Chains A and B, each alone.
Chain A
Amino acid sequence: GAGVSQTPSNKVTEKGKYVELRCDPISGHTALYWYRQSLGQGPEFLIYFQGTGAADDSGLPNDRFFAVRPEGSVSTLKIQRTERGDSAVYLCASSLGGDLEAFFGQGTRLTVV
Chain B
Amino acid sequence: AQSVTQPDIHITVSEGASLELRCNYSYGATPYLFWYVQSPGQGLQLLLKYFSGDTLVQGIKGFEAEFKRSQSSFNLRKPSVHWSDAAEYFCAVGARYGNKLVFGAGTILRVKS
A residues with CB within 8 A of B: 4, 33, 35, 40-45, 48, 55-56, 59, 91, 93, 98-107
Contacts and interface: CB of A to CB of B under 8 A. Distances in A.
Interface residues of B, number: 26
B99 A55 contact: yes
B28 interface: no
A42 B4 CA distance: 10
Given A42-B105, A42-B106, A104 B43 contact: yes
A91 B96 contact: no
Given A41-B105, A45-B101, A107 B49 contact: no
B100 A104 contact: no
6 contacts: A41-B106, A42-B92, A48-B99, A99-B96, A100-B98, A106-B41
Contact of B44 (A40, A43, A59, A99): A43
Given A42-B104, A43-B90, A106 B96 contact: no
Contacts, number: 59
A43 B103 contact: yes
B96 A100 contact: yes
Interface of B: 4, 32, 34, 36, 41-46, 49, 90, 92, 94-106
Nearest to B98: A100
Question: Closest 4 CB pairs between A and B?
Answer: A42-B103, A45-B100, A56-B99, A104-B44
Nearest to B97: A98
Contacts of B90: 42-43
A100 B94 CA distance: 8
Contacts of A55: 99
Contacts of A42: 4, 90, 92, 103-106
